[in-house]
A and B are shown apart, each in its own frame.
Chain A
Amino acid sequence: MMIDAVLFYVFAAIAVASAVVVIGQRNPMYSAFALVVTLCSVAVIFGLLGSPFIAVLQVIVYAGAIMVLFLFVLMLLNVKREKDSPSRGQRTLSGVALALVTVLVLQAGAVLLRSRPTPAPDYDASTFEMAKILFSPHFLYAFEATSILILAALVGAVVLAKKEL
């Protein structure tokens, strides 16, 4: 239990530090690699929170598939370093303001969570339990709809990236 907490704080620190690198870098390539580090440390935290299925999914789908797609496009388009723009100070100010508002609003939610006593007597998030819920009538149709969504995204991506649009 003790080692869990230590691992959580170590990987939380890594996740925040690499997220800062993601938004602080001018070279998109470095941002992409920092984002891979963030995603992997969040995957470790998913595992520590007792959800191995989501942790593996995070590594395979996010750090694997999605980030490869990002890196592929970055290399395909030969993206250069970002240049300075005139509205930079104004944008930074509005970004900080919006981020602070988000933190305050969501912190209120976190406080609400803290005030509610919720013991978790038998929490079993194995792949078997996940599948039982995912294929239950409650989520089955949504699950089938995702396959149509993926197909539509596939066709849409091919059409959008075609030469003669």
Chain B
Amino acid sequence: MENPAFVHHAVVLSLILFALGTLGVFLRRNVITVLMCVELMLNGVNLAFVAFSRAQGTLDGQVLVFFVMVVAAAEAAVGLAIVIALHRHRDTLDLDAFNLMKG
């Protein structure tokens, strides 16, 4: 089976998704939206893994995607629990409000 020509473009797409996620982490002030932007970045990485795996013709990249998804699920669960605890203590989700450790 020949490689489809769009494998390179899939890498470019993953790049765009990762950059948009990075931009979103800086742009948004809501903790939950920032977490969603991190998920967007993880998805860009996953797409790059799958595209590289396809280009190389091995399955190792896809196994890594599997592990990334497991870690992303764990991260989302713990992160959202922290968000709930933060909301209980400060009654807001604005990142600018959490400045206790600011020097």
Contacts and interface: CB of A to CB of B under 8 A. Distances in A.
A joins B in a complex = yes
Interface of A: 1, 4-5, 8-9, 12, 15-16, 19-20, 22-23, 25, 28, 31-32, 35, 38-39, 42, 45-46, 48-51, 53-54, 57-58, 61-62, 65-66, 69-70, 73-74, 76-77, 79, 82-83, 85, 87, 91-92, 94-96, 98-100, 102-103, 106-107, 110, 113-114, 118-123, 125, 129-130, 133-134, 139, 142, 146, 149-150, 152-154, 156-161, 163, 165
Nearest to B15: A106
Contacts of B25: 95
A125 to B, nearest CB: 6
Interface of B: 1-13, 15-30, 32-33, 35-37, 39-40, 43, 46-47, 50-57, 59-60, 62-63, 65-67, 69-78, 80-85, 87-88, 93-94, 96
Contacts of B63: 130, 133-134, 139
Contact of A160 (B9, B46, B59, B78): B78
Contacts of A158: 81
B21 to A, nearest CB: 8
B73 A31 contact: no
Given A79-B32, A134-B63, A94 B26 contact: yes
Contacts of B4: 1, 4-5, 8, 48-49
Contacts of B20: 16, 19-20, 22-23, 99
B55 to A, nearest CB: 5
Nearest to A72: B80
